[in-house]
Amino acid sequence: MIIPLPRIRGAIQALGEFNACTGNGVIDADDGTKVARVGKQASTNCSRMTSTDKKMLATLERSIRAYLAAHPNAADSAVGIQRWWLPDELAFASITQLVTALRAVVATGGLAEHHLPDGSVIYSAVHPGDE
């Protein structure tokens, strides 16, 4: 069943790919239903990105890097990172914004992205010399 769903902190797992420009994607609710996710644009590649979006992305990236500095063996899903790694003042950040920030940290070598057989993605800290 496809329905619009507002972001419910910690109650959803991101599935598949998001359109980073539109923030649209599909998520799987805890009860197993599929729901459409319509979000706010959150991509550094989107020419329509607002200065507020850019600031949010930069803030999320800094928070992720700070968490990794304090917890060098950290690994979790995007939902787990949203719930456990981010400070309370970033609780309003969408999963789409967070995934965009996570992918930016992956692109610069700070995180590895592991795709599991069930379709979920785990992000883990990268250490010098890791491949």
Tell me, what's the pLDDT at 130? Answer: 61
The per-residue DSSP string of 72-95 comes to TT-EE-HHHIIIIIS-GGGTT--H
Tens digit of each residue's pLDDT (9 = 90 or more) over 55-95: 999 999 999 999 999 999 999 999 999 999 999 999 889 99
pLDDT tops 90 at residue 106 = yes
pLDDT score recorded for residue 114: 96
Tell whether pTM > 0.75.
Answer: no
| Structural element, H or E, at residue 106 | helix 95-107
Do strands 34-37 and 24-29 pair parallel, antiparallel, or not at all (unpaired)? antiparallel
Domains of the chain: 12-42+49-125 (1.10.10)
Whether the Cβ atoms of residue 131 and residue 90 lie closer than 8 Å to each other = no
pLDDT tens, residue by residue, 12-23: 333 334 444 444
